[in-house]
Amino acid sequence: MGFTMRKRYDKEFKAKVALEAVKGEKTIQDIAMLYQVHPNLVALWKKQLLEHAMVLFEKEGKDKEAEEAARKEEELYRQIGQLQVENEFLKKKFKQLYGTEPKWEHDHKQLSIRRQCELLGISRGSLYYKPEVDQEHEDRDYRLLLEILAVLKERPFYGYRKIAHALQHLGVTRKQVRRIMHRMGLRAIYPGKQLSKPKKGARKYPYLLKDKAIWLPNQVWAADITYIKLEHGYVYLVMIIDLYSRKILSWSISNTMDAQFCISALEEAISRFGIPAIFNTDQGSQFTSEGFLEVLDRYGIQISMDAKNRALDNIYIERFWRSLKYEDIYLKDYRNVTELRAGISRYVRFYNSERFHQSLGYATPDSIYASRFSVGELEQAA
């Protein structure tokens, strides 16, 4: 089995890649492909740059223990890369196991024929076996696939149970629908990545909004993070909202889940709109980080945090995510960070100043926010 030689990167190269990541104009996957490095290394170097700034790689070569740890880390990433090669090979070959295509690749650069057979769990003698194809069965599956695709086109949020129910007039079962959807990689649109995991040992704060009457702007702000899939990888979006008016106060995009982009959004909101009495978030590690909490403590803002597994505690911003994604992002299909940033900026302006909200008596968030302040008060708050 062939292995790719482990690369060693100098500090200039690391700094160049880290700076590209900090710019936030590309996803981590885009940067990894551009510089031919593992995505985890890009995220790691960005984190180191943010933490250590100008002295990022000053101690390189002096600290033998750190150098050995870095060597082991890169070796681990090399092994991860090899496993990814093998995993991609297995995923591609899985669909061919019962087909007529050969199950091995004579010209694979990294996996020998012997290793391919080991991964597939077959003997080398079985490579030339060609099973018979049940064409009638394949045709039946193809017709059912077309029906599934027709349902998903109209109801992209349906899972296999609801699709099976919608197609029950055809006499199909859940098992058949699930098998075909799994085989073709079809999935419903639903919340995916879990972004609210607290950091181990993080400080806990009570939920302060239960039964609380919210009757003024800047009484309670809330923040949350969601992820958005682009052509090559994911980016993360944080929004800060005023709960009384539903006005979006600030937002920020990052290609990694560090705390800095949340801190930047918080500081921007305070500089533009003043200081809230209460700030509510979930228990995600970004919101329980020392840097984020330090800003809240500095301004004397009360900290409120949702209970674990209680998404409804932050229902207003969850509703905003749904509006943003279904009214803009899923329709526009942004391909890169630059397009996405411009699109979100347009949508937030529309949401704040033009979109009517039934819960606000068909007023806009901007008008509700401004109605409770005089011009002088708004200028003072800003």
Q: What is the pLDDT of residues 283-329, one digit of tens each?
A: 888 899 999 999 999 999 999 987 655 555 578 888 899 889 888 99
With CA atoms as reference, report the closest residue to 229 among 84, 344, 336, 343.
Answer: 336
* Residue 142 to residue 161: CA distance in whole angstroms: 19
Instruction: Provide mean pLDDT across the span 156-160.
Output: 77
What percent of the chain is modeled with pLDDT above 70? 70
Q: Identify the pLDDT of residue 193.
A: 54
**pLDDT per residue over 104-131, tens digit each?**
566 666 777 777 777 666 666 666 566 6
Instruction: Provide mean pLDDT across the span 91-99.
Output: 52
Q: Assign 70 a pLDDT band (cuts: 50, 70, 90).
A: low
Instruction: Provide mean pLDDT across the span 238-249.
Output: 94
Q: What is the dihedral of CA 208, 211, 213, 214, to 10 degrees?
A: 50
Q: Assign 65 a pLDDT band (cuts: 50, 70, 90).
A: low
Output the pTM of the full model: 0.57
Q: Identify the pLDDT of residue 285.
A: 85
Q: Identify the pLDDT of residue 248.
A: 96
* CB burial of residue 15 (10 Å; 0-12, 13-18, 19+): middle
Better-predicted residue by pLDDT, 73 or 35: 35
Q: Assign 73 a pLDDT band (cuts: 50, 70, 90).
A: low
Q: Identify the pLDDT of residue 183.
A: 79
Q: Identify the pLDDT of residue 350.
A: 93
Residue 374, CA atoms < 13 Å, CB-side half-sphere: 3
Q: Identify the pLDDT of residue 252.
A: 95
State which CATH number among 3.30.450.40, 1.10.10.60, 3.40.50.1000, 3.30.420.10 fits the domain covering 220-381. 3.30.420.10
Better-predicted residue by pLDDT, 207 or 68: 207
Given a contact cutoff of 8 angstroms between Cβ atoms, the answer to whether 6 and 75 are in contact is yes
Where are the domains positioned within the chain?
A: 11-128, 135-184, 220-381
Number of residues that this document lists for the chain: 382
